[in-house]
Amino acid sequence: MTASEIKAHARTLGFDVCGIAPAADHPELKFYREWLDRGYAGEMAYLHRTAERRADVRNVLPAARTVIVTATVYNTDRPYAIECADAARAQIARYAWGDDYHDVIGARLESLLAWMRASSEAPFDARAYVDTGPVQERVYAQHAGVGWIGKNTCIINPDLGSWVFLGAIICSLPLEVDAPSLDQCGTCTLCLEACPTTAIVAPGVLDSTRCISYLTIEQRGAIPEEHRAGVGSHVYGCDICQEVCPWNAVAPRSDDPAWQPRPAWDRVDLLTLSQRSDEDLTAALRGSPMKRTKIQGLRRNVAVALDNCGMSDPGV
Ligand code: B12
Ligand code: SF4
Ligand code: SF4
């Protein structure tokens, strides 16, 4: 089983890009602890708890030799939030419109792994992760040639842009590795300038505690008073630093049914969303990544967004 056979099989499973990085002491991994020490992880305690394992995939799988990284386009044919003039539209991040990527990508990675086990002459150790594992997926993606880490901190593939989910298989096989991706941000600073809450504090450095994605998804309890206005009409996540990126100007779209917008979130306005019953929201959140905040968190965000638009939440 060769690296190119793995990549070819990955394509048949719906992955748009697949690259292979060495399980090595990559210099970018050292930045992680400094980022934590600066308090940029906010209340995401799991990032502190897993710091040791995140420092090197060989702390997760001692026999690791390579990391197979996949990227999957989730972009669909809806306009960007920055093109929407309606302040009362509920802004929901594009990645959250369809099915939960943890389930979809996770199942595809397991299929790839099962195929690798059936195709390999020798047994090997491996672990597949998407998002929630103790792996700095973007560092390995860059070293697997999948894309570079942009100033907005996202992985940008020169052909696909950054609307991609990453996935990783840590593995003990000494597969042929790819050349790392080269930084193509150049002198551009559009994402830093466009961030409504100045959360990108330096190129490639994000302070989560200011990021709308963190505030609307990860922040427990109330959104701190000083950050509420900055949230605007975002009710789940934020895409602005990717929408302004020139590499997403003509981003490819996926026709995969998994990523198509669910009717409940599709161009919905804040008032309509606030008036949905718990039963309707429960049904829409089933199998959706948005179930992370639960109904309670979503209602909290909608109330803040309504307030920002000068409207009051009729349910409060
Ligand atoms: C925690 C987390 C968040 C946090 C923090 C984000 C952040 N930028 O760090 C919050 C909640 C804010 C968040 C938001 C989003 N996230 Co998120 N998130 C993660 C998660 C679970 C861990 C990331 C992490 O550890 N961050 C801490 C930083 C310090 O580590 P890092 O991202 O690995 O960055 C390394 C390099 O950038 C490098 N580095 C950074 N700066 C510098 C500077 C110098 C000088 C050097 C040398 C190195 C260096 O070192 C870092 C550490 O090794 C990953 C999945 C994973 N397991 O990796 C998904 C992940 C990064 N998220 C993802 C997505 C889709 C999003 C959102 C787009 C969702 C949305 N629309 O709301 C936003 C994007 C916001 C943004 N601009 O990043 C995708 C990104 C896909 C892509 N194309 O890159 C991932 C990979 C999940 C996945 N499997 O697809 N996320
Ligand atoms: S996701 Fe939004 S708030 Fe977070 S860094 Fe990007 S533009 Fe700023
Ligand atoms: S907007 Fe410009 S600086 Fe920011 S990630 Fe895209 S190319 Fe890089």
Q: pLDDT tens, 166-205?
A: 999 999 999 999 999 999 999 999 999 999 999 999 999 9
Q: pLDDT tens, 32-52?
A: 999 999 999 999 999 999 999
Catalytic positions are 131
Q: pLDDT tens, 75-106?
A: 999 999 999 989 899 999 999 999 999 999 99
Residue 131 region, left (φ>0) first, then alpha (ψ -120 to 50), else beta?
A: left
Q: Is 136 in the pocket of ligand 1 (CB under 6 A)?
A: yes
Using CA positions, which residue lies closest to atom 8 of ligand 2?
Answer: 195
Using CA positions, which residue lies closest to atom 14 of ligand 1?
Answer: 213
Average pLDDT in the 294-301 region? Answer: 96
Ligand nearest to the CA of 75: 1
| Percentage of the chain exceeding pLDDT 70 | 99
Mean residue pLDDT of the chain comes to 97
Q: Is 164 in the pocket of ligand 1 (CB under 6 A)?
A: yes
Question: How many angstroms separate the CA atoms of 10 and 110, rounded?
Answer: 11
pLDDT band at 311; cut points 50, 70, 90: confident
32: helix, strand or coil: helix
Ligand 2: list residues with CB < 6 Å: 152, 195, 197, 199-200, 206, 211-213, 238, 240-241
pLDDT band at 313; cut points 50, 70, 90: low
Whether the CA torsion 143, 161, 71, 44 is positive or negative: it is: positive
Kindly provide the b/e burial profile for residues 151-179, where b requires at least 16 CB atoms within 10 angstroms of the residue's own CB: bbbbbbbeebbbbbbbbbbbbbbebebbe
Ligand 3: list residues with CB < 6 Å: 150-152, 185, 188-191, 244-247
38: helix, strand or coil: coil
- Over 60: is that where the pLDDT of 316 sits? no
pLDDT at 125: 98
pLDDT at 286: 97
Task: Locate the ligand 2 atom nearest the alpha carbon of residue 212 and give its number.
Answer: 3
| Percentage of the chain exceeding pLDDT 90 | 97
pLDDT band at 314; cut points 50, 70, 90: low
Cα of 62 vs centre of ligand 2, distance in Å, is: 35
- Over 80: is that where the pLDDT of 315 sits? no
What residues are paired with 206 via a beta bridge?
A: 200
Q: Identify the DSSP state of 161.
A: B
Q: Is 91 in the pocket of ligand 1 (CB under 6 A)?
A: no
Say if residues 61 and 26 touch (Cβ distance below 8 Å). no
Give CA torsion, residues 56, 57, 62, 65, to 10 deg.
-110
Which residue of 212, 214, 234, 244 sits with most ligand 2 atoms within 8 Å of its CB, as the best mutation to test the pocket? 212
pLDDT at 142: 98
Using CA positions, which residue lies closest to atom 17 of ligand 1?
Answer: 131
Q: The whole model's pTM is what? A: 0.97
Task: Locate the ligand 3 atom nearest the alpha carbon of residue 154 and give its number.
Answer: 5
122 CB-near residues (< 8 Å, 6+ apart): none
